[in-house]
Structure 1
Amino acid sequence: MSTMQRFSVFLVVALLTGCQGLGGQDPLGRSPEPLPRECEWPRDGDVSREDWLRATIAALEARGFTIRNTEVELGVVSAERTTRLPGLGAVDRPWFGFSSLWGGFGSGSGVGLGFGTHFGGDPMQVERLSVVSSDTTVRVTRDSSVIDPSGYVVDARADNHGDFCRELNESIAAHLRTGVGREGNP
């Protein structure tokens, strides 16, 4: 093997090794962030699990969540909320192509063509949450993803905030006080 071939092999190996070393951390390999203390609270044992779940469903629906699943035996409510993010699709979207405008007899017409762009559609934020109620404790976990119109996940992360959990707890308690969620009440 000539010196030039050896150097080429060495260069390729060095470049591939360098690229491998520059990779980011595996997001699934890192330990999860602890829940804020507001996202876990004691459950009133005087209220039946069914009534508590009904009040939880009412509180979540009042916040715009769609209930996806409930399991009375396990005390679980899963919900999802989708929010359109107008304008976010314009970020980091280069426009390639041409455009021309011409006029005749006082009127104008336009023609434009774009490559690598999309027409219409904004990214969507999808929030998913689970509320789990044991006999003594309530625990809320929430995550959020931003998905562009082509289905590419732009961002995904745990979205557990103490303020959200505290407000949800207060809303569930208010629904229980007013009787919403009690058997026989809507």
Structure 2
Amino acid sequence: MRRWLLLLLPAALAGCQVTPTTLPVAEPAPAAECRWSAGPGDSLDRVVTALEAEGFLVRHTDASLGLVSAERARTTIYHDNGVERLPRIGGFVLGGSGGHVSSGVMIGLGTGFGVGVDEATRIERLSVMLDQGQLQVARDIRMIDWRGDLRESRSASDAGFCRDLRDAIEAVPAGEAP
């Protein structure tokens, strides 16, 4: 094969790469209740106070952008989406006595039990933006198993959570926020 044909191959393959036509979007889309008009006393201080009262740890605030980022984590049990683990079948045996070594295959049925095998950490991340008289909430949930592997990740800006957060923010007296 001629060398000049090999030089054309990367150029031909480079033309196969296509840029995406749309940007990624959250699935499912945030609920309409996750965006509401700010009240007369709503401020980032009230948002921070409400989030801390709900058990969130505030990670970052940016007053110039009107943004508060927070998260909370808790240990939970992860069940691999309802799929039971299969028992282990079989094994390998190596042993011997009196200077003789032998090996073989063992057929048996067993299962393992252990503390914390099904433990996982559920991390809930939240961003609240106060901009031009509007409050907007975005939340996602990640499930990380005991090995540190990401098992589940989803957008969780649902109506019930946003209503509860709105009630929590409005329950903070305007003069009490730090």
Question: Given the two structures, how large is their TM-score scaled by the length of structure 2?
Answer: 0.64
The corresponding residue for 1:149 is 146
CA drift at 1:36: 1.0
Q: Which has the higher helix share?
A: 1
Q: Give the conservation status (yes or no) of the 8 Å contact 2:33–2:163.
A: yes
2:70 alignment partner in structure 1? 79
2:167 corresponding residue in structure 1 = 170
2:116 alignment partner, SS class = coil
Percent identity, aligned pairs only? 31
Deviations 1:29-48 (A, max 9, x none): 7643332111000113x43x
> Which of the numbers 34, 41, 44 marks the counterpart of 1:39?
34
Q: Distance in 1 between matches of 2:134 and 2:23?
A: 28
Pair 1:82–1:97, CA change in 2 (3 A): farther
Distance in 1, Cα, partners of 2:76 & 2:33: 28
Cα distance in 1 for residues equivalent to 2:74 and 2:158: 18
Tell me if structure 1 keeps the 8 A contact 2:31–2:159: yes
Report Cα offsets for 1:29-77 as digits up to 9, x if no partner.
7643332111000113x43xxx711111111111111111111111111
Match of 1:15 in 2: none
Q: Which amino acid aligns with 2:159?
A: G
For structure 1, list consecutive stretches of 5 or more residues without a partner in the other structure: 1-27, 99-112
> SS state of the match for residue 164, structure 1?
helix
Aligned residue for 1:160? 157
Query: In the comparison of the two structures, how many residue pairs are matched?
Result: 135
Q: For the residues of structure 1 that align with 2:66 and 2:51, how far apart are their CA atoms? A: 15
Q: Could you say what secondary structure the match of 1:143 adopts? A: strand
The structure richer in strand per residue is: 2
User: Structure 1 residues 135, 176: CA separation in 2 closer, same or farther (over 3 Å shift)?
Assistant: farther
Structure 2: give runs of 5+ residues left out of the alignment: 1-21, 91-109
**8 A Cα contact 2:78 2:145, kept in partner:** no
Distance in 2 between residues matched to 1:118 and 1:151, nearest whole Å: 17
Aligned counterparts of 1:74 and 1:87: Cα–Cα separation in 2: 37
After superposition, the C-alpha distances for 1:76-99 in whole angstroms (9 at most, x for unaligned) are 11011112113637964445389x
C-alpha distance 125-87 of structure 1, shift in aligned 2 (>3 A) = closer
**How many Å apart are 1:119 and its aligned residue?**
4.6
1:119-174 deviation line (CA, Å, top 9, x unaligned): 52511111101000102111000000111011111110000111111111111111
Q: Which runs of 4+ in 1 moved over 6 A?
A: none
Answering whether residue 88 of structure 2 is matched by residue 96 of structure 1, we say yes
